């Protein structure tokens, strides 16, 4: 045995003749049979004094669209919202838990919880149950400490504060587009337009994103929901 | 039984016929015999101060501390049964780290006080437990709201928020002295440096040389100067404050004796 023994052993291992594809997309591969997936496009952009969150509305079981007008934006507290992607069941359960914890905390402290706290609670649930979950969420909202802020919690349960966030299967198609459209210190109007435009483009390319666009603008003064019908998407130059 | 109503002080799980829980009152008595502890909320921070009696000449002055750091932004001063107090300190530390672990932010001052009080209160509910013979003064800062606060947790399990508070042997006269400072009005509020001097003055004023045991002053603060962290007041400054306090008390006594002479004339 010389010092290269390990390498030699590796090289002797038989190489696979061809890669076996299971016929499933990356989004649906980890789902249980019959589980609903929000093969999704979600995003959030903060602006001075608030944040805009947006999502498409497609929920699918494999190739079948189980719901074409679903709502992937969930309210966690007065000024804290969440975009869900991954398993519909898992993300619904997670948001229910976080909503419950936040309402308890608000009562104990006597003040509105921060977006950071909401993201931290979600991260704990996602990280500690990572083996049993398929959930990637974006949390955004307004609080007196950070004003508008966005936190991304992808599959493994990391929690990162971001200048903006995109997620879901459709997001891969629009990284370049959003990078070119985003700039620091966008106005509410600019951020809202950017979200609708980017999600339209993702919906056009991604087979598991589609339907309508749902958005919410979160500000200290309140939340404004809006939707863009599927025949009026701001697609194209 | 010796008389009607006696026998109700054996357990904190029983009320007396006139609605008192004697074991809890006895626990408060345990605090009343211990060194005076003072807390003062100033314009730019909170100051804690404890008179620690030196029971033995061979004692290392810095041993058996009465002021403990709970979290970066909060500290607790204890008086009464010191060992009971240390148990409270441990619990307070646990509450702080638990909160931050779960919610990702520092525990708000009010929540820390309330949770510590709940812990103390639990020991007044069961027949198999003994209430705490300790009062704890909690000084803390909340980075979220940028507010500082002072609370006191008593053996009965209540916690109140104060501008100035006192526990231990000299608490009654100390409270009158604290009230004279008028720190509850924004226009007469003082800064922490002045607060340290005033607390040193009160402790020395109440201390009777010869009658009371020699003591060591423990002082800490959570203030702008300490970057809102709980830190011991610098030794040099405590020394300076004590010198000022002694001089101030002396001058006042001279002034009073002069007045007395005038009255006689």
Q: Using H for helix, E for strand and C for coil, what is the string for B206-264?
A: HCCCCCCCCEEEEEEEEECCCCCCEEECCHHHHHHHHHHHHHHHHHHHHHHHHHHHHHH
How many CB atoms are closer than 10 A to CB A168?
29
Question: Is A109 among the residues known to form the active site?
Answer: no
Of A111, A121, A145, the CB nearest to B103: A121
Q: Does A139 touch chain B (CB under 8 A)?
A: no
For residue B9, tell me if it sits in a domain.
no
Which chain A residues in 2-41 lie under 8 Å from chain B, judged by CB atoms? none
Asked if the structure places residue A92 within a domain, the reply is yes
- Which pLDDT band holds residue B75 (cuts at 50, 70, 90)? very high
Judge whether A142 lies within some domain.
Answer: yes
Q: Which of B103, B107, B109, B147 to mutate to test the interface with A (most CBs of A within 10 A)?
A: B103
Task: Name the token pair of B245.
Answer: 């306090």
Nearest CB to B103 within list A105, A111, A145: A105
Predicted pLDDT at A28 = 59
Question: Could you say which residues from 48 to 107 on chain B have a Cβ atom under 8 Å away from some Cβ of chain A?
Answer: 102-105
CATH code where residue A119 lies? 3.60.20.10
Cα(B190)–Cα(B180) distance, integer angstroms: 12
Rounded Cα distance between A59 and A81, Å, is: 19
Residue A89: inside a domain? yes
Helix (H, G, I), strand (E, B) or coil at B166: strand
Taking contacts as CB-CB distances below 8 angstroms, the residues of chain A near B95 are none
Residue B258's pLDDT band, with cuts at 50, 70 and 90, is confident
Overall number of domains in chain B: 1
In this prediction, residue A159 carries a pLDDT of: 97
Q: Give mean pLDDT, residues B2-28.
A: 87
Choice among A11-15, A91-95, B232-236 with the minimum mean pLDDT: A11-15
Identify the pLDDT of residue A1. Answer: 45
pLDDT tens track for B156-213: 999 999 999 999 999 999 999 999 999 988 888 899 999 999 999 999 999 887 788 8
Per-residue pLDDT reduced to its tens digit, A207-236: 999 999 999 999 999 999 999 999 999 998
Number of domains in chain A: 1
Residue B140: inside a domain, yes or no? yes
* Whole-number pLDDT of residue B55: 85
* A12 Cα to chain B: minimum distance (Å): 48
Taking residues B78-98, what's their average pLDDT? 97
**B220 assigned to some structural domain:** yes
The pairing of strands A222-228 and B37-42 is unpaired
For residue A234, what are the CA distances in angstroms to A53, A222, A231?
16, 26, 9
Contact B104 A145 (CB under 8 A): no
The ipTM assigned to this model is 0.84
Give, in degrees to the nearest 5, the angle at Cα A27 between A26 and A30: 85
Length of chain B: 265
pTM of the shown model: 0.86
Tell me whether residue A7 is in a domain: no
Q: What is the pLDDT of residue B255?
A: 82
Give the full edge-to-edge strand order of the sheet including B147-153. B67-71, B74-80, B134-142, B147-153, B159-162
As a whole number, the mean pLDDT across chain A is: 90
Residue B124 pLDDT: 96
Domain that holds residue B158: 22-264
Evaluate if residue B96 carries a pLDDT over 70.
Answer: yes
Q: Is residue A30 part of a domain?
A: no
The answer to whether A105 contacts B110, with C-beta atoms less than 8 Å apart, is: no
Domain of residue A165, residue span: 43-228
**Structure confidence at residue A62 (pLDDT):** 82
In a domain, A31, yes or no: no
Residues of A in contact with B144 (CB under 8 A): 114, 145
In 10 A of CB A31, how many CB atoms?
20
What pLDDT sits at residue B208? 82
Whether residue B10 is contained in a domain is answered as no
Residue B5 placed within a domain: no
In a domain, B255, yes or no: yes
Predicted confidence band of residue A100 (pLDDT cuts 50, 70, 90): very high
Say if the Cβ atoms of A114 and B111 lie within 8 Å: no
Tell whether B1 is covered by a domain.
no
Among A28, A38, A40, A59, the one annotated catalytic: A40
Confidence of residue B260 (pLDDT cuts 50, 70, 90): low
Residue A52 domain-assigned (yes or no): yes
Task: Annotate A33-59 with b (16+ C-beta within 10 A) or e (fewer).
Answer: eebbbbbbbbbbbbbeebbbbbbbbbb
Strand partners, A84: A137
**Helix and strand totals (H; E) in chain B:** 6, 10
pLDDT of residue A19: 58
Report residue A32's pLDDT band, with 50, 70 and 90 as the boundaries: low
Give the mean model confidence (pLDDT) for residues B260-265: 61
Residue B52 sits in a domain whose CATH number is 3.60.20.10
Mean pLDDT of all residues in B210-223: 91
Q: What is the mean pLDDT of chain B?
A: 93
- The residue to which tokens 């626990």 are assigned: B27
Residue B57 lies in a domain: yes
**Residue pairs spanning A and B at CB distance below 8 A:** 28
d(CA B46, nearest CA chain A) in Å = 21
Of A36 and A145, which is predicted with more confidence?
A145
Which two tokens mark B101?
A: 């672990």
Could you tell me if A68 lies within 8 Å of chain B, comparing CB atoms?
no
CA distance A52 to A152: 14
pLDDT at A11: 52
pLDDT digits (tens, 9 = 90+) for A33-75: 667 676 899 999 999 999 999 999 999 888 889 999 999 999 9
């Amino acid at each position: 045995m010389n010092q290269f023994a390990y390498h030699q052993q590796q090289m002797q291992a038989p190489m696979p003749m061809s890669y076996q594809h299971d016929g499933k997309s990356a989004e649906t591969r980890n789902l249980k049979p019959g589980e609903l997936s929000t093969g999704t496009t979600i995003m959030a952009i903060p602006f001075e004094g608030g944040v805009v969150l947006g999502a498409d509305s497609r929920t699918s079981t494999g190739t079948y669209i189980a719901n074409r007008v679903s709502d992937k934006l969930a309210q966690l507290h007065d000024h804290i919202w969440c975009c869900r992607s991954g398993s519909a069941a898992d993300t619904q359960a997670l948001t229910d838990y976080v909503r419950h914890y936040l309402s308890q905390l608000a009562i104990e402290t006597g003040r509105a919880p921060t977006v950071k706290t909401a993201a931290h609670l979600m991260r704990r649930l996602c990280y500690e149950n990572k083996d049993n979950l398929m959930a990637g969420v974006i949390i955004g909202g307004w609080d007196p400490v950070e004003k508008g802020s966005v936190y991304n919690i992808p599959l493994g349960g990391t929690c990162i504060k971001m200048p903006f966030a995109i997620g879901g299967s459709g997001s891969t198609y629009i990284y370049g587009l959003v990078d070119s459209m985003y700039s620091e210190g966008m106005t509410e109007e600019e951020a809202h337009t950017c979200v609708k435009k980017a999600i339209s483009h993702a919906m056009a390319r991604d087979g598991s994103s589609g339907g309508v666009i749902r958005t919410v603008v979160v500000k200290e003064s309140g939340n404004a929901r809006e939707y863009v019908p599927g025949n009026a998407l701001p697609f194209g130059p | 039984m010796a008389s009607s109503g006696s026998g109700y002080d054996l357990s904190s799980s029983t009320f007396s016929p006139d609605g008192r829980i004697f074991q809890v009152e006895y626990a408060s008595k345990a605090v009343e015999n211990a060194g005076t502890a003072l807390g003062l909320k100033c314009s730019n921070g909170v100051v804690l101060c404890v008179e620690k009696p030196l029971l033995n000449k061979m004692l290392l002055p810095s041993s058996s501390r009465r002021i403990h750091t709970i979290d970066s932004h909060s500290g607790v001063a204890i008086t009464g049964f010191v060992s009971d107090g240390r148990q409270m300190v441990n619990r307070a530390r646990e509450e702080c780290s638990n909160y931050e672990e779960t919610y990702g932010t520092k525990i708000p001052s009010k929540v820390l006080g309330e949770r510590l009080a709940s812990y103390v209160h639990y020991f007044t509910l069961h027949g198999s437990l003994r209430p705490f013979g300790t009062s704890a003064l909690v000084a803390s800062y909340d980075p979220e709201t940028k507010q500082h606060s002072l609370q006191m947790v008593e053996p009965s399990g209540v916690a109140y928020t104060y501008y100035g508070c006192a526990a231990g042997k000299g608490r009654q006269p100390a409270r009158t002295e604290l009230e004279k400072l008028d720190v509850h009005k924004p226009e007469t509020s003082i800064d922490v440096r002045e607060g340290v001097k005033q607390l040193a003055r009160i402790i020395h004023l109440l201390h009777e040389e010869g009658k009371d045991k020699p003591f060591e002053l423990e002082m800490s603060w959570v203030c702008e100067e300490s970057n809102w962290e709980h830190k011991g007041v610098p030794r040099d400054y405590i020394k300076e404050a004590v010198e000022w306090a002694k001089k101030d008390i002396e001058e006042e006594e001279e002034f009073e004796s002069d007045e007395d002479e005038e009255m006689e004339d």
